[in-house]
Structure 1
């Protein structure tokens, strides 16, 4: 979602405002996002990613719009509150943003210390915890659990991964884990993403991925190619006793 789309979504929820007030609210939101984007650019973010993360930190635009709309319950109030439009916008955004930052920070700290143990009905025969951390742009991709076992009657490896921003409490890219490709020892990858659950927050993203393997396979390969980055990492598989 772009900055323009975000602001349009917020404004679409406002039913009892004048055009002047609508323009004032748009200007206030744009200025708020511009300040945050500039701060991220100073930290070394590229402009597209800075905008993406700023929009994410602003919170759900529909929720922001609903909170703002509650302030305009009638035309009489609208007329009396014109001078307070900018303050209302800032308070609503800061309230939602403050809660989001705290949640982001907790998820980010957990992902980099003790990742959430997301489990499924997968029948694991052997498990290892390699703690592989891969820098990807402004984020870190962490492989923290690898198991070999049986899934749907087929021998497969289960890979538990997490992604988080390098800055504690920062917003992780929601597209990072989606663009990770796992290949077996013969260089073959499934035609579609064999996911098995996960959860996400702006501060961290979790997923379980599965890949069919053959008896005797000793490793799989993780690949990531996006935004000019090309990453290849070999992940050893735990040994399964006969």
Structure 2
């Protein structure tokens, strides 16, 4: 036994006893229990007037053969039962960890109040301050599932540049997933769009559709999509993700079907 806390008088006897126990993870606890019992017995003898060396000798003799004691302990600490107990503890820890992660995700996904908005209420309206007065909030498409993510459209804004006679669409989205190790979905060049007039929008040329790349917000990621250069008065725009296969439709204000 190498336990520095144990009286040297007990190490040989306790070491022999615990070596008989096959379930080694219990060795340290068994040694402590045996040493405590030895200490108590010796203290009782010393109170009766025995000197320390004689009390130690009588205590070891009273405890008996360490091999026999160890074998009796082995029957009480069977390896199968020991590993079953440890496995059950690990399982409980795993369940608690999953529950904690799920709980954190649930709290996070309820969108806690914006601290920046508390510190500076004017920030709440900063987006509107930089937009043309003609911008309009449109109806958001419903949330949808794609792979490991749930994606929610939080805001859709449409505004026209009257001098250029063209419209622009700005969409704020949020992806959520319990798989916190994943990056957010990649948008960007994976997007394409078409409006009710048959005009196609691509990543690499005008009229244009684009979006944010992946980010590492873990449980949730804020994303955006921008569509620029709508002409005429299309009734709607379908925005699609080429690799993930999803499509969302945005109904435009006062839209009229035109001629492709």
TM-score per shorter chain, which class?
0.3 to 0.5
Tell me the TM-score normalised to structure 2 length.
0.39
